[in-house]
Chain A
Amino acid sequence: MNRITAIAWNTFREAVRNKILYSLLFFAVLLILSALAIGNLTLHEEVRTIRDVGLFGIDLFGVIIAIFVGVNLLYKELDLKTVYTILPKPLWRWEFVLGKWLGMLLTLAVQMAVMGLVLGAVLAAEGGRFDVPMVKAVGLLFVNVMVVTSIAVFFSAFSSPFLSGFFALGCFVVGRSVPDIRALAEKLGPVAKAVLNLFCNLVPNLHLFYPSGAIVGAEEVSVHRQFVGADYMLSATGYGVAYSIIVLVLAMLVFRKRDFV
């Protein structure tokens, strides 16, 4: 465990000392702050607008950071040859991958906490509150970036950052569109329907982590009114964790067999 913690802590430290991440965080904070201005353009809907724009900002920048850092996570170690120094140490390759992933999650957690704090401050400035539905919404967005990070790490175990980024972004877009793809499948013939449904079962259903505005249990959920309950939070988080573990295990298997030339 000590070795995994050491790799995770080093990954976090690398991110903290990476200026590009600060730039991304700066733009995320800027977007959340812009919600203040956008809110003021609306009539009595300032708090609602700030919540929507703020969550959108956390979601967007969380995913951008997850893909940007995730696809480089293993590739950079190979490209800079740092892996040649680390892997001959008494460390299993899977421990290395797990440590990198955990470090990445810690980085994302801190980034999202900062974005959440800024959003909370902006809401407070307009007389709103960062209430339980908002905490749940940010929590689900964190599970969302956890899944995206795992996918990015999986692709980075065997392909270049450009391709990994392309595939991870593709998975994100498709994953968010799973309900639409399923709706489309209903309108098609049995074979196409079966194929699309199989496809939807394989790609991550990322729509689960952005449920605001969706129908859950015959009711529309929203961070402004009635948000998802504890059972939904548990099942969505369980799904996200399970999906991440499966993808991460695949990444470990690919990494285990690699020659580091």
Chain B
Amino acid sequence: MTDIVLRADGLAKTFRLGLLRKRVEAVREASFEVRRGEIFGYLGPNGSGKTTTLKMLMGLVFPSRGRAEVLGRPVPNREAKRRLGYLPESPYFYEYLTPEEFLDLVGALCDVPRRERRKRARTLIARLGLDHAMGRPLRKFSKGMLQRIGIAQALMGDPELVVLDEPMTGLDPLGRKEIRDLMLELRREGRTVVYSTHILPDVEMTCDRVAMIFSGRVRSVGPLAELLTARLLSTEICFRHNVGRLPALPAGASLRQAPDGQTVDLPEAADVDAFLKAALAAGASVISITPRRESLEDLFVREAEEDKGAA
């Protein structure tokens, strides 16, 4: 059994819009792999090509170039779709159906036997906290409830791979936490989760690996920990200074008052040892030393700026 559950290889999509058939390159080059059992974040600003990439992987949009494989089969493939669950962005469902009717329809499309469908629908409705709205048509559901029923329908076929397009959009902090917890739970169950988003704190809390897409081009792919620890921005030394004079600050360093003392920010790692020695010799007591590494936001902004520069 392959360890790669999803592979995008040079995917690109050019749309031709309007009477003049104007070319719009929604995705220029998307290449990445998703491994079994991980939570994979597909990050990018609005309009960067996240949804178009996912639609190509789901067989809703045909790529102009490149190829995609889902669960070891070229897209689109019915056998792969059977083992896959998908939540589209800002999902719309048949609003005249109740949650149970809708999940029953989805179950039938996923070839789930009738008796099993009913059981699975009720379990999912309860799991996603929608049992109070069992008999209510979907048109009366709030945004958060629709998002939850959307996730329930993605899970109806008991999929190995769950692809969620912007699952946090429009949710309040509690709703976002519920979805995050659910994704972690899905990973614990051995499923692979891929989701697109531009909400970076959610990614930091959930993802094992990420890919970043800017202007239709995937720029960084890798484990979140690796991408973030690659760059040391500065070292913060917090200390209390009781007697004597403060040692001279190295070039580029800055000093600021902190609630329990003073904090020096040293951009160069090479300056840390020398400054520490001098500070201790001057009678300072060190409270903390914190290496300040690049946050996901820093990385995201840097990549976005580099992309702008390249364009």
Q: Footprint of B on A, CB under 8 Å?
A: 2-3, 5-7, 10, 13-14, 17-18, 80-92, 257, 259-261
Known A2-B111, A90-B82, A90-B109: A14·B60 in contact at CB below 8 Å? no
Closest CB in chain A relative to B47 CB, distance in Å: 13
Bound together, the chains give a CA A110 to CA B81 distance in angstroms of 34
A10 & B62 in contact (Cβ 8 Å cutoff): no
Chain B CB count within 10 A is highest, among A13, A83, A88, for A88
Q: Are A84 and B110 in contact, CB atoms less than 8 angstroms apart?
A: no
- Whether A92 touches B96, Cβ cut-off 8 Å, given contacts A85-B153, A259-B62, A261-B15, is no
Whether B60 lies near A84 (C-beta < 8 A) is yes
Chosen A-B contacts, 15 in total, with CB atoms closer than 8 Å, are A6-B109, A17-B96, A18-B96, A81-B91, A82-B93, A88-B58, A89-B109, A90-B78, A90-B81, A90-B110, A90-B157, A91-B78, A259-B60, A259-B62, A261-B55
Residues of B bordering A, CB below 8 Å: 15, 52, 55, 58-62, 78-79, 81-82, 84, 86, 88, 90-94, 96-97, 101, 105-106, 108-111, 150, 153, 157
CA gap between A90 and B161 in the complex, in Å: 14
Distance between A126 CB and nearest chain B CB, rounded to angstroms: 39
The one of A6, A82, A92 in contact with B92, judged by C-beta atoms closer than 8 angstroms, is A82
A6 touches B108 (CB 8 A): yes
The prevalent SS among residues of A at the interface is: loop
Please give me the residue from chain B that is nearest to A18 by CB atom: B96
Across-interface contacts of B105 in A (CB, < 8 A): 6, 10
**In the complex, chain B residues whose CB is within 8 Å of the CB of A17:** 96
Distance A17 CA – B58 CA, assembled complex (angstroms) = 30
Most buried by B among A80, A86, A87: A87
Report the separation of the CA atoms of residues A91 and B109 in the bound assembly, to the nearest whole angstrom. Answer: 7
B110 touches A89 (CB 8 A): yes
Would B93 and A89 count as touching, CB distance under 8 A?
no
- Determine whether the beta carbon of B86 is less than 8 Å from that of A88: yes
Distance of B5 from chain A, by nearest CB (Å): 15
Other A-B contacts than A80-B92, A88-B84, 18 sampled, CB-CB below 8 A, are A2-B111, A7-B109, A10-B97, A13-B96, A18-B96, A81-B88, A83-B60, A84-B55, A84-B60, A85-B86, A86-B109, A87-B58, A87-B59, A88-B59, A88-B88, A89-B157, A90-B111, A91-B78
